[in-house]
Homo-oligomer: A and B are copies of this chain.
């Protein structure tokens, strides 16, 4: 019975990546049937939008979900992107850990090369059906049609069908998956996901047919594509010893000084010199002759040296104007405001925080603010409690801005607040990409953005209150006008017929004295600067 080392040896074997993720599907967002439906749509839509933007095509993405039998759905996503060349189709859809986005530093929705193939794996496990792909790369090409399985032992595609087809479309990809799932409406549904996606992607048209055969069209409101973000080199502040050693080993540079300048961003000849000096390394040393201890000294030197922040053209924020457009088309409200912060950096990765707000309208004033969280334009629907945005919003005092709030809670009021982080590498708390980790730099930027947009809100809410108060006071005074007129007629012994004139005059005086309501409403934003004081007063008013 007792086992020896030899017995153990015979049982040891390699575990397939696909086998691993099949068993650990919760890591990739397939923990239950509701979430599986959303994750499948999300991965396909993310890829479609990424591909369209890289190819500089205004995206048009159609999503269709059909209930085939109880808890079995067919999900079809079709885009007008550049298409995928024949050779790549099997591996992109039927091999986990394969893609173009993992090895580069540039903002995109996908990061890991695992999302869509995980959906294919999930489909295969739950319904046994292959993924069906149609891809066309140009108007004169034929479309390639594939049916694919994943060989889970080898993590390689298994081609069931490979055909040429006619497809009345210039270019694009269509993917069809049969999965075990559940569909329901609500804040974490596919319906919400697409609506929220429309807000941060005002340049995209989304056409959605839900399982109840209702069609929703989220039409684009901007014909301008977001500027294509540039790929950057890693910033020295983000490098670890292990990575550095590997880079040194496979380096082409002649010496460590040129290595540092060519492999990292923001390392000028001067900075390279300084780093070598601090680390006591000759700048002429060959990279592959740098020892582990020297590399360690280099890492320590980087930490001590002031290096300019990374370039920020690797990220493409949405911008205040487009954020407002996006929000206006999806949320009915009275007042809108948006803030796009300047880029900041965490662990060598640049990022931008943007916040937009829609206030009033039909939104309930009794409920918590509807907090919409986004990462690289993708809505995050799960794990709000774990997200940096939640921590940041609860650390801001919203009462001066006209919302009510319990200490440490999300504010309450008729308000939707969208917060967006754009980055080359979004630090998610888990691989299912549901929440942003609590990096201090990110928390700080979020907090500043909430405050900035809060001040804009304060100005509006405060004016609205002043207009309201003024109207109330006037209608109050106006009640007395006829009585004052009567008294004047009596006192001055005027003819009763003058009453109408007197009343008119009194109202004219009143208007001159108290000013036009229109003017109050048009008062300029110089007012904004006193927001804090006004905020304080409002707060006192409440109690």
Residues of A whose CB lies within 8 Å of any CB of B are 1-6, 8-9, 11-17, 19-20, 22-24, 26-27, 51, 54-57, 82-85, 87-88, 91-92, 95, 97-100, 102-104, 112-114, 124-129, 135, 137-138, 152, 171, 228, 240-246, 292, 295-296, 429-431, 437
**Given A5-B135, A15-B97, A127-B241, 17 extra CB contacts under 8 A:** A3-B54, A4-B55, A4-B137, A5-B84, A5-B85, A5-B137, A9-B85, A12-B92, A13-B103, A14-B95, A15-B98, A15-B113, A17-B17, A20-B112, A20-B114, A125-B242, A129-B292
User: B82 near A8 (CB under 8 angstroms)?
Assistant: yes
User: B2 near A56 (CB under 8 angstroms)?
Assistant: yes
List B contacts of A23 (CB < 8 A): 102
User: A91 near B15 (CB under 8 angstroms)?
Assistant: no
User: A19 near B128 (CB under 8 angstroms)?
Assistant: no
The minimal Cβ–Cβ distance linking A536 to chain B, given in whole angstroms, is 36
Chain B residue nearest to A173 in the complex (CB): B5
The minimal Cβ–Cβ distance linking A157 to chain B, given in whole angstroms, is 12
Cα separation A92 to B292 with both chains bound (whole Å): 24
26 A-B contact pairs sorted by A residue (CB < 8 Å): A2-B55, A2-B56, A2-B57, A3-B82, A5-B55, A5-B82, A5-B85, A5-B135, A5-B138, A5-B171, A6-B85, A8-B54, A11-B100, A11-B104, A12-B91, A12-B92, A13-B103, A14-B97, A15-B114, A20-B97, A24-B112, A24-B431, A26-B430, A127-B242, A127-B296, A129-B292
Chain B residue nearest to A22 in the complex (CB): B242
Interface centre among A51, A87, A114, A431 (most CB of B within 10 A): A431
List B contacts of A135 (CB < 8 A): 5
Chain B residue nearest to A11 in the complex (CB): B100
Cα separation A98 to B12 with both chains bound (whole Å): 7
Given contacts A8-B88, A87-B9, A98-B15, contact A126 B3 (CB under 8 A): no
Cα separation A245 to B14 with both chains bound (whole Å): 22
User: A242 near B56 (CB under 8 angstroms)?
Assistant: no
List B contacts of A241 (CB < 8 A): 125-128
Given contacts A137-B4, A243-B125, contact A12 B99 (CB under 8 A): yes
Shortest beta-carbon contacts, A-B, top 5 = A125-B242, A2-B56, A11-B100, A5-B137, A15-B97
List B contacts of A126 (CB < 8 A): 240-242
Interface centre among A128, A171, A292 (most CB of B within 10 A): A128
The minimal Cβ–Cβ distance linking A172 to chain B, given in whole angstroms, is 10
Cα separation A56 to B4 with both chains bound (whole Å): 9
The minimal Cβ–Cβ distance linking A293 to chain B, given in whole angstroms, is 9
List B contacts of A84 (CB < 8 A): 5, 8-9
User: B55 near A88 (CB under 8 angstroms)?
Assistant: no
List B contacts of A11 (CB < 8 A): 100, 104
List B contacts of A92 (CB < 8 A): 12
List B contacts of A82 (CB < 8 A): 3-5, 8
Chain B residue nearest to A125 in the complex (CB): B242
Chain B residue nearest to A121 in the complex (CB): B242
Cα separation A465 to B88 with both chains bound (whole Å): 75
The minimal Cβ–Cβ distance linking A248 to chain B, given in whole angstroms, is 10
Q: Which of B4, B12, B124 contacts A100 (CB 8 A)?
A: B12
The minimal Cβ–Cβ distance linking A104 to chain B, given in whole angstroms, is 8
Q: Which of B13, B14, B103 contacts A15 (CB 8 A)?
A: B103
User: A128 near B242 (CB under 8 angstroms)?
Assistant: yes
User: A14 near B98 (CB under 8 angstroms)?
Assistant: yes
Q: Which of B15, B88, B129 contacts A12 (CB 8 A)?
A: B88
List B contacts of A3 (CB < 8 A): 54-56, 82
User: B8 near A125 (CB under 8 angstroms)?
Assistant: no
Cα separation A245 to B56 with both chains bound (whole Å): 42
List B contacts of A429 (CB < 8 A): 26
The minimal Cβ–Cβ distance linking A94 to chain B, given in whole angstroms, is 13
The minimal Cβ–Cβ distance linking A231 to chain B, given in whole angstroms, is 10
List B contacts of A4 (CB < 8 A): 55, 82, 137
User: A228 near B26 (CB under 8 angstroms)?
Assistant: no
Given contacts A82-B3, A126-B242, contact A98 B13 (CB under 8 A): yes
The minimal Cβ–Cβ distance linking A101 to chain B, given in whole angstroms, is 9
List B contacts of A17 (CB < 8 A): 17, 97
User: A15 near B242 (CB under 8 angstroms)?
Assistant: no
Chain B residue nearest to A5 in the complex (CB): B137
The minimal Cβ–Cβ distance linking A4 to chain B, given in whole angstroms, is 6
Cα separation A429 to B57 with both chains bound (whole Å): 40
Given contacts A8-B84, A9-B85, A88-B9, contact A102 B54 (CB under 8 A): no
